[in-house]
Amino acid sequence: MYMMVKHLHLTLVATSALFFIFRFFLTLQNNGLLQKKWMRVLPHVIDTLLLISAVVLCVLIAQYPLVNGWLTEKVVGLVCYILMGMWALKWARSTPMRWIGFVGALTWLVIIAKVAVTKQPILFG
pLDDT tens digits for range 54-110: 999 999 999 999 999 999 999 999 999 999 999 999 999 999 999 999 999 999 999
**How would residue 123 be classed by pLDDT, with cut points 50, 70 and 90?**
confident
- Per the structure, the count of domains in the chain is 1
User: Does residue 123 lie in a domain region?
Assistant: no
| Cβ-defined contacts of 72-79 (< 8 Å, 24+) | 72/121, 72/124, 73/115, 73/121, 73/122, 73/123, 73/124, 73/125, 74/112, 74/115, 74/116, 76/123, 76/124, 77/108, 77/111, 77/112, 77/115, 78/108, 78/112
User: Does residue 71 lie in a domain region?
Assistant: yes
Whole-model pTM: value is: 0.93
User: Does residue 84 lie in a domain region?
Assistant: yes
Answer whether residue 125 shows pLDDT above 90: no
